[in-house]
Chain A
Amino acid sequence: MSFVAQFKAQAKVMAGDLRHRKIIRTALRNYEIVRDQRKASFQDWQGARQLAAETKWEAVNHLDKHLIDFTSKLEARGTKVHWASTAAQAREIVLKIVQDKQAKSVIKSKAMTSEEIHLNDALEHAGLKVVESDLGELIVQLRKEAPYHIVFPSMHLTRDEISELFQRELGSAATNDPEELTMIARRALRKKYLTADIGITGANFAIAETGMISITENEGNARLTAALPKTMISLIGIEKILPQMADLALFLPMLATMGTGQQLTCYNTMYSGPRQPGESDGPEEWHVVLLDNHRTELLADAEQRDALHCIRCGACLNVCPIFRNVGGHTYGTTYSGPIGSVITPHLRGLQDWKHLSSASSLCGACTETCPVKIDLHHHLLHNRRNAAKQKPSFGEKTAFKLFAFAANRPGLWNFGKKMARVFQPLQGAVKGTAVDPAKAWTKTRDLPPLAQESFKDWWRKRK
């Protein structure tokens, strides 16, 4: 099945799934309240957004310089930096490190970049045991599913489903208490931290000035992943750059506000190297893998370059009426919701993924909520335009040609209007059926009845 057919089929099922709708509404209700409280606590949220947008503009529009600063600072303190143009190269780099260390087990904290390059499959294929340590990621990993949402991976599941899953996969006792379920995962993962050979993390920000990565989390799993295993690997998209460490004073609270409705998440941690002389713990080796994977193609599109400003807070997903109705898995992409619909055609092919640009009501809620002011809903239109320009649709082109032909000839137009008034009632009989010539459009839409008299006729009579 093509990507578009799959999207349409699943969207149809999910949009009618009232249980799913209820779960998502419940999950987002509290988020909306606390997010708005946090936004209101800023002295001026709009000023903060503009400054954040301009800071990311500076970072992305001088990306070469910042990446050189970032990596030379890292290397000076003993970190090994790797560059990967493609997903395959990134997987090879990680596999090689893991094999050189003769590692058997890997513990991971949440990293969307690893979902993007399907790292877990590659590691498991090479015979390694991979454990996701973020609770939500662990839950979807045990279900052999992709994350449902970039910030809330298991948002689509109820506590009963999670309890059943834990009973089956972790052999735990039945309980539907979220606290007990969390403690089951805590106990199961404790041993893994202590025995894992490799810890893999992502990063939320990469600081050019000081050569640091910054990881935002709530659970402490990333802290442990970066403290206990002997080797640490961080997989980072090249666009994560921020020019200066002090920029975090703005970005950390903005990410927390929009991501989860917190002032700050529980742990925001900066790493600038492996264990340094005189330090008592931490990894002996740290590898930073910088991932391009089509990001430079998006960079080359100056019109949509600001999509690289994204800090992956997930706020645009949460406000999107399409996301809320069709759900995260329907997209079939690593990044879902409005930002996913904008960047996936760049990352994975415009023609295969152009249908996502139409999975939008163009209401603009995403653009309005975005903390770094990405012009999201306009970019959906840009993608539609680019797709049509690159590969025009014969049907659409013909339809518009016929329209132009008729609209330029008043006699023909007036005749058409009269005919339409006569035939519209007949259309009702075949509406949406196989014999309706406009079936694709009318199947789900009503055409309002044409007025019995046109404005032009009415005006003429009035004089």
Chain B
Amino acid sequence: MSERENILGRIREALKVKAHVPGTHGESKGPPTFDPAISSPRKWLPKVGATMDEQLALFAKNAGDLKADFQLLKSEDEAREAIAAVRAKEKWQRVAAHSGNLTNAICPALNLPLLHTDKAYDVHALEACDAGISECDALIAQTGTVLVTNRSAGGRALSVLPPHHVVLARREQLIADLPAAFELLKQKYAANYPSMISFITGPSRTGDIERILVLGAHGPKKLTILCW
């Protein structure tokens, strides 16, 4: 017999005896009830306002707490100005991005040659870039999270290898909470999920030395979100 059959066999044998329902200290033996009234996480998770303005404000607050730079802009032109300003301030020499409606509209404002990561690319060249610029699937107000996939955001490494990750997003991409994010993923990709889906919540960080927060442990030190 294969180990697969051995393990599954032991599991089936073990499960012949029923376990008590969690949180009842052994008093109830049946399965949990899964009352629909309580089985939606939305009922328990932190509250999110219903209007767009409330959600934008919550995202901005969360991003601030996470030490991400969230810039709410009025137009595509402002986004072009904003990214050129970051380039000038940080003296970018080399930048990586992928092709997309937003990146194609904004990146020319940088006046820099771009390394494209949505086709085969040299990983050493990406490592030498000052910034990675990507689109995203959604911004999540509840947690200040940027949702990316390797299909929508230029592969697995673009958003994590360069020291600065810049996200381009439209206001319509803002969603309320985590349950909405999983609904969106299902609607968009259920037939064929991208092989990587990542919830990015602030720039990379660690607390492994005396529990003191340090940004940029292995991933980007900076996360900039330009939204218009």
Task: Please list the residues of chain A having a beta carbon within 8 angstroms of any beta carbon in chain B.
Answer: 26-27, 30-31, 41-45, 47-51, 53-54, 56-58, 60-64, 67-68, 77, 83-85, 89, 133-136, 139, 152-155, 157-159, 162, 178-179, 181-183, 185-186, 189-190, 194, 210, 212, 218-221, 223-224, 226-228, 238, 245-246, 248-250, 252-253, 260, 262-276, 279-282, 290, 292, 296-297, 299-300, 302-303, 305-306, 309, 372-375, 378
Contact = CB atoms under 8 A, between A and B. Distances in A.
Given A224-B161, A266-B200, A300-B14, 14 more contacts: A26-B210, A61-B19, A182-B208, A182-B214, A182-B216, A186-B218, A194-B127, A210-B193, A219-B219, A223-B198, A266-B202, A270-B197, A272-B197, A373-B23
B22 A372 contact: yes
A280 B120 contact: yes
B45 A253 contact: yes
Contacts of B206: 135-136, 182, 218-219
A205 to B, nearest CB: 13
B155 A220 contact: no
Contacts of A135: 206, 208-209, 217
A57 B193 contact: no
B219 to A, nearest CB: 2
10 contacts: A30-B211, A50-B38, A62-B15, A178-B212, A185-B217, A227-B161, A266-B200, A279-B195, A280-B118, A375-B25
Nearest to A64: B11
B53 interface: no
Interface of B: 2-4, 6-8, 10-15, 17-23, 25-26, 31-32, 34, 38-39, 41-47, 62, 117-121, 123-124, 127, 142-145, 150-151, 154-157, 160-161, 177-179, 181-183, 185-186, 193-212, 214, 216-220
B218 A292 contact: no
A238 B22 CA distance: 20
Which of B15, B41, B181 has the most chain A CB atoms inside 10 A of its CB? B41
Contacts of A262: 201
A182 B209 contact: yes
B44 A250 contact: yes
A266 B222 CA distance: 12
Nearest to B5: A83
B7 A282 contact: no
Given A44-B44, A45-B44, A228-B123, A245 B156 contact: no
B44 A54 contact: no
Contacts of B23: 49-50, 53, 373
B209 A43 contact: no
Contact of A228 (B142, B157, B207): B157
Contacts of B47: 43
Contacts of B178: 248-249, 252-253
B185 A245 contact: yes
Given A220-B204, A223-B160, A263 B198 contact: no
A276 B154 CA distance: 14
Nearest to B124: A194
Nearest to B193: A272
Contacts of A378: 25
B107 to A, nearest CB: 17
A27 B204 CA distance: 20
B4 A83 contact: yes
Contacts of B193: 210, 212, 272
A88 to B, nearest CB: 12
A238 B117 CA distance: 35
A308 to B, nearest CB: 9
A142 B62 CA distance: 36
A273 to B, nearest CB: 4
Contacts of A280: 117-121, 150, 154-155
Contacts of B4: 83
B117 A269 contact: no
Given A154-B208, A265-B201, A271 B195 contact: yes
B204 A219 contact: yes
B211 A31 contact: yes
Contacts of B17: 300, 302
A375 to B, nearest CB: 6
Contacts of A271: 195-196
Contact of A296 (B11, B34, B197): B11
Contacts of B150: 279-282
B201 to A, nearest CB: 4
Nearest to A274: B195
Contacts of B18: 61, 302
Interface centre among A43, A51, A152 (most CB of B within 10 A): A51
